[in-house]
Amino acid sequence: MAKTKAVKEVKDVAEVEVVAETATKPVKGVAKLEEEGDIAADYLEALLDIADLDGDIDIDVENDRASLAIVGGKLNHLVGRDGEVLDAIQELTRLAVQTATGDRSRLMLDIDNFRANRRKELTKLANEMAEEAKTTGNSIKLAPMNAFERKIIHDTIQELGLSSESDGEDPSRYVVIYPA
């Protein structure tokens, strides 16, 4: 019994140390995010060259993360169905940045304005579903979405003064919107 208590105390101390370490960890500076963007742009440029595709790469820093967009050319096939290819390229780009810097990257990639257009669609959907939840007094369950899409819904719902939460397991994770 004493041994179990000691193990639990050690575990509790370790958890407190981890929480304290992450709580004081500074947010990445703009210079670090710009460096991530440059590394990602080099990686994407090489990828476009290998595939013999044209496209310009725009680099920015938004919401405490590097943000890249590939525009121009015929790039629909790099987006794929429902953005699946885009998600894969984004993950590969994040891994390339992590390999170069040693730090995990949260960069966002957009190709052919897919994410920008999707953001507009989802904001409109969230507004419509919030109105329905208010009118009917019922919670609204949306179709499964990826993390990027769910975040847009949550942010919009929060701005409207309602609440929402994600439920289910990936890839079938979905948002539920609750009336006021």
- Domain spans of the chain, in order of start: 30-112, 117-178
The CATH number of 30-112 is which of 3.40.50.720, 3.90.1150.10, 3.30.300.20, 2.40.50.180? 3.30.300.20
pLDDT per residue, tens digit, the chain (180 aa), is 444 443 344 334 333 333 333 333 445 799 999 999 999 999 999 999 999 999 999 999 998 999 999 998 789 999 999 899 999 999 999 999 999 999 999 999 999 999 999 999 999 999 999 999 999 999 999 999 998 899 999 999 999 999 999 999 988 999 999 997
Q: Tell me the pTM.
A: 0.76
Residue 158: count other Cβ atoms within 10 Å of its Cβ: 12
Q: Is the peptide bond before 171 cis (omega within 30 degrees of 0)?
A: yes
What is the C-alpha to C-alpha distance for residues 65 and 37, in angstroms, rounded to an integer? 9
